[in-house]
Amino acid sequence: MKKKLMTTVVTSIVLWSVMLFSNIFKHQLLHADTNGSKDSEKPRDKLLGGLLTADFDEDSCLSRYQSSLYRKASQYNPSQYLISKLRNYEMLHKRCGPGTEAYKSAKERLGQDELARSYSELCKYIVWVPLSGLGNRVLGLASLFLYALLTERVILVDQRSHLTDLFCEPFPGTSWLLPLDFPLMDQLDSYNQEHERCYGTMLKKHAINSTTTLSHLYIHLFSGYRDHDKTFFCEAEQTLIRKVPWLVVKSNLYFVPSLWLIPSFQTELIKLFPQKDTVFYNLARYLLHPSNQVWGMVTRSYNAYLARADERLGIQVRVFSRRAGYLQHVMDQIVACTQREKLLPEAATQEESQVTNTSRSQKLKSVLVTSLYPEYSDNLKRMFWERPTSTGEIIQVYQPSEEMFQQTDKKLHDQKALAEMYLLSLTDKLVTSAWSTFGYIAQGLGGIKPWILYKPENNTAPDPPCVRAMSMEPCFLRAPLYGCESKTATDTGKLVPFVRHCEDWIPGLKLVDAPDKL
């Protein structure tokens, strides 16, 4: 009798287990086409349409070849001309980069202005000194890399910042890190607008012209730069700058739109980027691969909180206000924007709350919130915890970190920030804050046209609360206001149809692709 009973129990357990795992398997199949997670999708194209090469050890930088596992297939394919240009640049960097005879020769002549005319046969360089917060640094780096492509210069980055803790080496068989024995290393921090080698200052003092020979120049493209510095974006000045072998640059700006206004660059740029609002999208996917430590943060968060969702919404909150902390009018603005644009459902009415509709499919929507403060995500959680939604959707709200204040140059803080930018870029729809470089990078990486929250005035939520972006390109917040050649004031936002003023900052400039459809 006991034996028969035991057999019955065992059989029941087996049947129950089969049913349980069958249901789990069905749930995984249900989400297989939508979650984009590593477990549910095979890589579509790990070389990203030819942007990348297969020349790297995959374990040294997991994000380089794994990113396609977490994204939908791209609808913005790089041009063959861009791919060819990148392969040519890689050969240039390998020939001229640190440790090569070409680099040694160019370094030995650094500081010898009288020999500058004989530099024509040598490699030319851009030394980038990163400053400001992480978002500004990334935008400045992407802009300078494009400038390097256009001018056939080798880009080298000051490694005294923790760049290697954030990003992998982007170029095969060589390094982009400026060697610590670089002759000007001790002087890099002293370069500013008043420095005698600052191009803008030399122009102002009439200390440079078409006959001047210089072995190096400092270019100041930093927030608050002055009119003479802004002439960098003029054709005549580019003619002079091209002759200088070494450029030291400090930039925290996405100055790409103004490069499109330089006639000698424009034809080349159109060939590189036929779809004009894909510049940052393609350059960032090529250049900026999170380090293994950062990538671990990304994948763990994604698989735990985002992978199983039917839809993912990112909300990036950055408040530029003297009052630090949580602001209720900003919370009101977020709710107004997301509900008005049908990004989040409203709470069910009392009558709807009393009806249990088991036939309605309960979609899972994951909401990723990034903010220095936890109250915004806490309030959203409370909204969808206390009452059901009018649509029947299940809303899951997740915030990876709550640092409370920005900690520039702190390694772990910057790693978390980069991971959150990347996570936002993996969402299906995105809401960002006006003027925020953090949001600009997320939208650019993800190829997403976000809804931008207008900057509040007088502690009041604006009406309308947000606007849909014209393109996924970042905004050049400190763009020159007027053109170079015209003797009268010319609005740089009206010189060409594909450079427009930004939605969130009218003096700024951004690239758009199809102005006739805007």
Task: Tell which wins on pLDDT, 129 or 23.
Answer: 129
Q: CB–CB of 181/207 below 8 Å?
A: no
The β-bridge partners of 289 are none
Residue 4's pLDDT band (cuts 50, 70, 90)? very low
Same-domain check for residues 398 and 277: no
410 vs 463: CA distance, rounded Å: 37
- Give the structural domain span for 219: 80-287
Same-domain check for residues 282 and 306: no
pLDDT single digits (tens) 458-467: 889 999 999 9
CA 516 distance to own-chain centroid: 26
pLDDT single digits (tens) 387-445: 889 888 999 999 998 765 566 668 899 999 999 999 999 999 999 999 999 999 999 99
What does the DSSP 8-state code read for residue 190? G
Same-domain check for residues 300 and 374: yes
169, part of any domain: yes
32, part of any domain: no
Percent of residues in the chain assigned helix, strand, coil, to nearest 5: 45, 15, 45
> CA angle at residue 287 from 285 to 290, to 5 degrees?
80
pLDDT number for residue 69 = 94
Q: How far is CA 210 from CA 221, 242, 483, in A?
A: 22, 11, 21
Residue 214's pLDDT band (cuts 50, 70, 90)? very high
Segment 65-89 shows an average pLDDT of 95
Same-domain check for residues 399 and 380: yes
The β-bridge partners of 248 are 127, 218
| Domain boundary pick from 257, 287, 317 | 287
Same-domain check for residues 228 and 302: no
468, part of any domain: yes
Same-domain check for residues 247 and 303: no
CA 253 distance to own-chain centroid: 12
Same-domain check for residues 309 and 235: no
Segment 41-57 shows an average pLDDT of 85
Segment 436-459 shows an average pLDDT of 96
43, part of any domain: no
Task: Lowest mean pLDDT of 217-231, 289-303, 319-333, 464-478, name the range.
Answer: 319-333
Same-domain check for residues 267 and 311: no
Q: CB–CB of 370/317 below 8 Å?
A: yes
pLDDT number for residue 257 = 97
Same-domain check for residues 166 and 279: yes
pLDDT single digits (tens) 164-209: 999 999 999 999 999 999 999 999 999 999 999 999 999 999 999 8
pLDDT number for residue 24 = 34
The β-bridge partners of 219 are 249
Same-domain check for residues 411 and 304: yes
What does the DSSP 8-state code read for residue 346? P
To 10 degrees, the CA torsion angle through 372, 380, 311, 339? -110
Confidence check: pLDDT of 2 > 50: no
In a 10 Å sphere around its CB, with 0-12 CB exposed, 13-18 middle and 19+ buried, how is residue 27 labelled?
Answer: exposed
pLDDT number for residue 109 = 86
Confidence check: pLDDT of 31 > 70: no
Confidence check: pLDDT of 384 > 60: yes
Same-domain check for residues 322 and 244: no
pLDDT number for residue 302 = 98
* Tokens (6 digits) for 104: 């040694």
pLDDT number for residue 401 = 83
115, part of any domain: yes
Task: Lowest mean pLDDT of 105-109, 358-362, 476-480, name the range.
Answer: 358-362
pLDDT number for residue 40 = 46
How many structural domains compose the chain? 2
The β-bridge partners of 430 are 314
Instruction: Decide: helix, strand or coil at residue 2.
Output: helix
Tallying the residues shown for the chain, one arrives at: 518
pLDDT number for residue 518 = 42
CATH of the domain at 327: 3.40.50.11350
482, part of any domain: no
What does the DSSP 8-state code read for residue 114? G
> CA angle at residue 155 from 151 to 160, to 5 degrees?
155
55, part of any domain: no
Which residue is associated with the tokens 């001229």? 96
Same-domain check for residues 325 and 377: yes
Instruction: Decide: helix, strand or coil at residue 219.
Output: strand
Residue 1's pLDDT band (cuts 50, 70, 90)? very low
Segment 59-69 shows an average pLDDT of 96
60, part of any domain: no
The β-bridge partners of 442 are none
Q: Considering the chain, what is the average pLDDT of its residues?
A: 87
Residue 16's pLDDT band (cuts 50, 70, 90)? very low
pTM for the model: 0.89
Confidence check: pLDDT of 132 > 80: yes
Confidence check: pLDDT of 36 > 70: no
* Tokens (6 digits) for 485: 């050649």
186 vs 196: CA distance, rounded Å: 16
256 vs 169: CA distance, rounded Å: 23
Q: CB–CB of 33/311 below 8 Å?
A: no
In 222-346 the beta strands, taken as DSSP E runs, fall at: 246-251, 311-316
| Domain boundary pick from 243, 272, 287 | 287
